[in-house]
Amino acid sequence: MKFLKLLFFATFLLFFFQCKNEKGSEKNVPKISTIKEHTKSKLEEKISKPWDSLNKDNVEAFFTEYGKENKETKIRIKTKFGNIKIRLYKDVPIHRANFIFLTKIKYFNTTEFYRVAKNFVIQGGNSDETYTIKQRRLYGNYRIQPEFKANRKHKYGALAAARDWEENPNKLSNPFEFYIVHNRNGAHHLNNEHTVFGEVIAGFDTMDKIAKVKVGVDEWPLEDIRMTVEILD
């Protein structure tokens, strides 16, 4: 009888400690459901705040989501010569969202109109400021796929994205630099070469004043033409 009691007691202890060890070991075994939930929460966070992770590999996805929450289409460029009011087109959504994004992070506020090509364009969105350079590097100097539209021409007052002409067969836009057509007959040889994403609706006299400044051989104004850009609606 004693032997049976001892055997029963030993079996009970063995079973007890085995169960306890198995429960304790669960802490070191990742659960599939936990991993899925964690992954899902991370994905939801990226989707809800896509602009936290803008880089050269997710440009279209980033600005597609950003554009849904930032629908403004009117901006104002302020200079010492006066203001230029611009309407951004809705049918070029990536370029519009990009310009709104850069305006809201105040990228343009340390830039200037750095090129004045007489009877052609005034071009801006860059400078030698350290902040400007850092902002461009921060997002990897990304590029934007062209958004050519048959009804968006390089007319007088058209706002378009600058781009590299060399080693750029896909005509990718530079997201930071833009130009405004100042030739009253337009610049139609640039149609389907650069994306037109807006137009001037007020401030043509300011454009005229900027176009009259003295420039060097590189068309860079002898005196800086600083700008600040703000959202209107």
- β-strand partners of 180: 122, 159
pTM of the model: 0.78
Structural domains of the chain sorted by starting position, each given as residue range(s) with its CATH number in brackets: 2-54 (no CATH), 67-231 (2.40.100.10)
Pair 144, 59: CB distance under 8 Å: yes
What DSSP line would sit under 7-52, residue for residue?
HHHHHHHHHHHHHHHHHHHGGGS--HHHHHHHHHHHHHHHHHSGGG
| pLDDT for 44 | 39
Q: Retrieve residue 112's tokens.
A: 């200037």
Each residue's pLDDT expressed in tens, for the chain with a length of 233 residues: 434 344 444 444 444 444 444 444 333 322 222 223 333 334 334 444 545 689 898 999 999 999 999 999 999 999 999 999 999 999 999 999 999 999 999 999 999 999 999 999 999 999 988 889 998 998 889 999 999 999 999 999 999 999 999 999 999 999 999 999 999 999 999 999 999 999 999 999 999 999 999 999 899 999 999 999 999 99
| pLDDT for 107 | 95
CA distances from 8 to 15, 18, 129 (A): 11, 15, 83
| pLDDT for 49 | 52
Cα–Cα distance between 112 and 75 in angstroms, integer?
16
Q: Retrieve residue 93's tokens.
A: 């959504």
Query: Distance between terminal CA atoms of the chain?
Result: 92
